[in-house]
A and B are shown apart, each in its own frame.
Chain A
């Protein structure tokens, strides 16, 4: 997109009297980065030496514990220094310091205040600074909580500082955010205005989406650091898993929110009526999500049965490496992408860093693999244990498919000399069936107990979901949702019907699980069903929070399946022209123009009638941003549970001067965003500590409930 950016010629130059303060801030920012790099390097070096001394028990002039503590303090000071650099860049954006190249290229005077913040991550250097800053925040929290387990936290902190050294080195040597305009001297003239922020980023979600995604990406550094640290120090027991679990869940939540916010942004801004295009950069964010999800599931096997230790360690290593790969894809222009707004040559840095990380992981694993040896024992193929194995199998296969599809154009070019496109048709045929199988497992897994089960129990648990599945298929066919169109099979509709049916089965299974448990508590404690469900959930927040997350995933899948039935119509609309789509008739009531300091806009005013009665009005808009000279659509969306009416002002016919309007009727899109809310709620529930038996006994009649608590609480 950068290539398309029409750079406005800055005709006027201003000699700002406060220009010296701008240079000062740039210098301050640069020094902050340099100091942060030195502190991170000290943290890495001193931490490594101290931990080595502790591990070998060798004597040294300084106590290794004290040396480790100085390393920790250096890490905290490093956070302050990176914060100083981030502050300097934001300050420079707000003071329109166009002597700094980054500010000139990514901001302008008329840019609204919220988007001034967005300028921080709109370009290469700024987004790397954001990464380093977020890593600093995570590291700061981690180092403050070091008393939880001083040695493990020292290992994790030292590993985090190694990652921080890499990012700060890139910022200092390869992509400095505070570099001044070529030939600029302090007090000299600076451009009157900047080139402005990419219009694609001038949307409310863009103020939240990148930080969320980065919090997810960067956050996986923490479980990675714990896993690698625990392996290096041969950490006894599974406590590190419990420490890491909260970090992983929070990180997973951020990444989930980041991905969904990106989908919503694409939906509301790009104007093509969809939210996921299987773009390489979208894929790059999805891959660590898949492996992170696999880790969150398989780690339960380790906690509960002490199994899959090596597997879990490698899952978290892979997740971290995939976050790096995602950054590499975004930054290095390795594959062509609609997100290629930050291409540069820093890819080599990332490749080298990933190589070093992989080498360290392999070396540590080989050296310490004896520590990961476990007695694996399973009693049955039909058990919770095996469902986790299959869940991991499917999640990792999905990850492989996406990685394969993303990289295949490069592989093809290398092997046969010609590049090929791997777009939505490939993923729809390969990834969608895998996804549906995963949704199926989402319902099946929780129904299977640990260890083993009987055919009788299987039948009892599965009858209702199977009935729900077939009832849904019949209802779909009866109401006209059929897997064929115009006499031929429509794969999209076919998958949609399968998705609806599986979703109904999974929802029934999960709700039945809730009701079964709540029913028992209700009978035992004489509470109503709602109160019993609440108590049930509080007694095992992790389990029932997980179920709520599964419900959210199913709701999302229902929303995604709706895309098979999208409809659209495009028409040039004069005054009082009409177009119909679904139950709606759109009538053009006028088209007008508006302008402000940031952009000029054309928009149409359309009355929407249903059954001959006006029900609402939409105003799709097309903006032309003055600083960047780029156009941008602002889609009008009217959302109800059944569908979204999605209206795009595509442009103006140069011959007639009339607007061209495209309207989409996108079924069930709102379910996707609602599903996210359910997932977030479920994750929060899972993060809340469960009621302990003692606490539970205080709050419910002790005679009836105290003895049953362990059975319901189980596996925490």
Chain B
């Protein structure tokens, strides 16, 4: 099926977006510095400041330097990100992770927002369909001009509407 030319433009734009994202996600591996930065922003400082480990700014913080040093040691020992996280959880408990994991009940934390969004999106589309929004033909919007009985006025209003691309109102 041939797409209308107006839709081709949009399909190409979408393709370009997808390609752009794919290129970004297929780039190479992290350096140690960026890995350290990434991991330290996935862990919480345990001093009670409620800040990310990589952002804790307390001079003399009893935990920040210790945790960062453990992180460095784990990275130097060749542990994977997951192993490092597991080691921190084993030592400090689950609250050391700045975000829930994707295992067990924690997965619900990640799934629920997208599930709710999908359900709401579906509901909205169904609602629009029920209200006739998907059944009617797209039409040229002409409202203001049709209300005037004077042909000159109607013509002027139609021209304004066309030029402003609007039918008034917010």
Contact = CB atoms under 8 A, between A and B. Distances in A.
A650 B61 CA distance: 11
Contacts of B20: 473
Interface of A: 271-274, 277, 279, 300, 304, 307, 336-338, 376-383, 385-386, 389-390, 393, 396-397, 400-401, 404-405, 408, 412, 415-416, 418-426, 429-430, 434, 446-447, 449-461, 466, 470, 473, 483-490, 494, 513, 516-517, 519-520, 540, 542-543, 546, 648, 650-652, 660, 662, 707-708, 710-716
B4 interface: yes
Contacts of A483: 24
Given A272-B51, A420-B95, A453-B138, A540 B100 contact: no
A652 B60 CA distance: 9
A277 B98 CA distance: 12
B83 interface: no
Interface string B101-113: 0001110011011
Given A422-B109, A459-B6, A449 B167 contact: yes
A652 B59 CA distance: 8
Given A272-B51, A274-B55, A430-B113, 16 more contacts: A378-B132, A379-B133, A381-B134, A397-B116, A397-B117, A400-B116, A421-B99, A424-B41, A449-B165, A452-B141, A453-B138, A513-B166, A542-B170, A707-B148, A707-B153, A712-B168
B94 to A, nearest CB: 5
B168 A715 contact: yes
Interface in B1-42: 4, 6-7, 9, 13, 16, 20, 24-25, 27-31, 33-34, 41-42
Nearest to A466: B13
Contacts of A404: 109, 112-113, 116
Interface in B60-77: 60
B114 to A, nearest CB: 8
A289 B169 CA distance: 24
A702 B125 CA distance: 45
Given A272-B57, A396-B120, A421-B98, A449 B141 contact: yes
Given A378-B128, A425-B42, A520-B163, A711 B29 contact: no
Nearest to A457: B165
B144 A517 contact: no
Given A273-B55, A404-B113, A450 B143 contact: yes
Given A393-B124, A483-B24, A662-B57, A420 B106 contact: yes
Contacts of A489: 24-25, 27
Contacts of B106: 412, 420
Contacts of A422: 99-100, 109
Given A420-B97, A708-B160, A385 B52 contact: no
